[in-house]
A and B are shown apart, each in its own frame.
Chain A
Amino acid sequence: MSARSGIDWLPHAILLAGVAIVAFPIYVTLVASTLSVSDIVNAPMPLIPGGHGLDSYREALFAGSSLRTSGALVSRMLLNSLVMALVIATGKIAISILSAYAVVFFRFPLRMVFFWMIFVTLMLPVEVRIVPTYKVVASLGMVDTFAGLTIPLIASATATLLFRQFFLTIPDEMVEAAQIDGAGPLRFFWDTVLPLSRTNIAALFVILFIYGWNQYLWPLLITNSASMMTIVIGIKTLLGGGDAQTEWNLVMATTVLAMLPPIAVVVLMQRWFVKGLVESEK
């Protein structure tokens, strides 16, 4: 009996320690966002929430002028990030599901060549092609616009491959049954392929939303004006350099705010997300 409870106890302890290691920085962030700057700076920082929480969040969200972000409000940055992440996620899904549909269900000349062309772009993430991409976007006059921020990130080999793998599990007979039932390619896509892909779409949406939300290098390059700044870049600019004092409470409040949308997406779509990764529905 004692041996058994010992065995039960050990994994729990390990898991709890793991949770603590992951959660502690987040807890510190949360606590710090409720303290005054002086409380944070004077070591050791208290680990019990203070009373300045509402002030910090209000200031971060709506009082941009006092921050070092050249006038941008955190609320505006959140909106920018949200638009960017949504456009990237939906755009990637729309384009990749269509290209996967074409590659799997149609026989056209050079089909495999196109497939491999898509596949090869896996080796060219944004960071690798950033300079030429910037040149193209700049020449098209898309610097400092949402179009410039999102379009270069939309083409996605990963999502295309995932959809392709899923489409390959749809039996040929179902395609043929639809053919005999009189459903053309667009009807088949709309009535059968799309509903069957629902869970995959949801799972991909979660992943791609977070991918878009976390973009740093590309927005840094392509946006100049304060009104186009995204939240991830905003946090960086909040960290003062040199002479000015960093307003840590505002940095922490902003960080917490930046974490909320991805968390919301994960929590809301959790059921679909898990289904999409686990289930292979026929």
Chain B
Amino acid sequence: MAEVSLRALRKSYGTTEVIHGVSCDIADGELVVVVGPSGCGKSTLLRMVAGLEEITSGEIAIGGRVVNDIEAKDRDIAMVFQNYALYPHMTVGGNMAYGLKMRGLPREEIASRVARAAAILQLDGLLDRKPRQLSGGQRQRVAMGRAIVRDPKVFLFDEPLSNLDAKLRGQMRVEIRRLQQSLATTSIYVTHDQVEAMTLADRLVVMNAGVAEQIGTPLALYERPATIFVAGFIGSPAMNFLSAVPAEDGWLALGDGTRLRPPPDGAALAPGRKLTLGLRPEHLARDGGIAPLTVTVELAEMLGADTIVHGRLGDGALLLARLPGTARAKPGERLPLAVDPARLHVFDRESGKRI
């Protein structure tokens, strides 16, 4: 068991810097999910922790010990790979035992650890099979087993569920969470799937272009995204963004002339400052009372539980609204939508930062 701390990590390939100083402290037993679009550097970050990539500058400490110059095998970490990376010629049991064998554990110790891991993962009857005789979900569990038997200080997961179909992914997600909680092993989990990230994480690190845009609990990131990027990345359907300018009286004027009340806790805004407003589709309501936004419906997706309405504002800006499943809207219809000022996110358009 150990805490992990990343301090001002940087990684360059030649002259190209791909990670620009990421810092993060991960508590003992915590599951931190690193999420971001492909190419944001999240996998590189994980591989640096694993010891598979050299650290250009900065420091990684596991359990208080700086591991920059320690080889992967001596860092006391275990990694689960996206394609599982099982040894195809070894049995399931052999795959799980290999790392222990390399460390010279006594045979009985290895056997009992493999048996225990197999029991946890319901792989009991499969120990003599070869990986190619297993289904995707079973292979995934073997890869997890290989990590568990080692009883490492840290688990590293590199998109472990991306090769599974949607249904299995949901099941394995729950299993991983349950397993991690019962083992209480510090874990770093990399994914590009924001639903996976939200459901698994104790805390999230949202990465974009080699920078950690925001670190926090899933709900904190949902409720108070620090940047436009985080706001657009977390939540589904994605947040609506509208250009706005503050008027003299502090209200926010949209492109089509509509005026919105500013958020109650918002700072004073200089008139004329270029802003981007963020409105989550689920926070728009079809409400007769206060209805400052009116859209022309283009398309309504009836999902049963919800109805997602795609509409256009007067100036052509697209706006999605997530309405109750009972709501009906026909294309061409004009639909008034209510905005709760408390749930309005205001960003500076230049810097992308929350105001």
A residues at B contact (CB < 8 Å): 171, 173-174, 176-183, 187, 191-192, 195-196, 281-282
The answer to whether B200 has its CB under 8 Å from any CB of chain A is no
Return chain A residues, CB-CB under 8 Å to B58.
none
In the docked arrangement, what's the CA distance between A196 and B328, Å?
60
The answer to whether B337 has its CB under 8 Å from any CB of chain A is no
Nearest Cβ on chain A to B55's Cβ, whole angstroms: 16
Contact with A along B58-84 (1 / 0, CB 8 A): 000000000000011100011101111
Contact sample, A vs B, 14 pairs, CB 8 Å cutoff: A176-B72, A177-B81, A177-B85, A177-B87, A177-B146, A179-B72, A179-B73, A180-B51, A180-B72, A181-B98, A182-B73, A182-B99, A182-B103, A282-B88
In the docked arrangement, what's the CA distance between A179 and B78, Å?
11
Are B98 and A183 in contact, CB atoms less than 8 angstroms apart? Answer: yes
- Not counting A179-B72, A196-B89, a sample of 10 additional A-B residue pairs whose C-beta atoms are within 8 angstroms of each other reads A173-B82, A173-B84, A176-B50, A176-B81, A178-B87, A180-B72, A180-B73, A181-B98, A187-B102, A192-B89
Nearest Cβ on chain B to A171's Cβ, whole angstroms: 6
Return chain A residues, CB-CB under 8 Å to B79.
176-177, 180
Nearest Cβ on chain A to B151's Cβ, whole angstroms: 14
Are A179 and B52 in contact, CB atoms less than 8 angstroms apart? Answer: yes
- Given A180-B50, A180-B79, A182-B102, A174-B73 contact (CB < 8 Å): no
In the docked arrangement, what's the CA distance between A177 and B73, Å?
10
Are B87 and A192 in contact, CB atoms less than 8 angstroms apart? Answer: yes
Main secondary structure of the interface of B (DSSP, over half): loop
Return chain B residues, CB-CB under 8 Å to A171.
83, 85
Return chain A residues, CB-CB under 8 Å to B99.
180-182
Contact with A along B76-110 (1 / 0, CB 8 A): 01110111111111000000001100110000000
Return chain B residues, CB-CB under 8 Å to A177.
79, 81, 85-87, 146
In the docked arrangement, what's the CA distance between A177 and B84, Å?
9
In the docked arrangement, what's the CA distance between A281 and B86, Å?
13
Return chain A residues, CB-CB under 8 Å to B98.
181, 183, 191
In the docked arrangement, what's the CA distance between A282 and B86, Å?
10
Nearest Cβ on chain B to A77's Cβ, whole angstroms: 40
- Given A179-B52, A192-B89, A173-B103 contact (CB < 8 Å): no
In the docked arrangement, what's the CA distance between A179 and B103, Å?
12
Residue of A whose beta carbon sits closest to that of B100: A181
Nearest Cβ on chain A to B79's Cβ, whole angstroms: 5
Residue of B whose beta carbon sits closest to that of A194: B89
Most A CB within 10 A of own CB, among B77, B87, B99: B87
Are A183 and B102 in contact, CB atoms less than 8 angstroms apart? Answer: yes
Residue of A whose beta carbon sits closest to that of B75: A180
Nearest Cβ on chain B to A196's Cβ, whole angstroms: 6
In the docked arrangement, what's the CA distance between A80 and B183, Å?
64
In the docked arrangement, what's the CA distance between A178 and B81, Å?
12
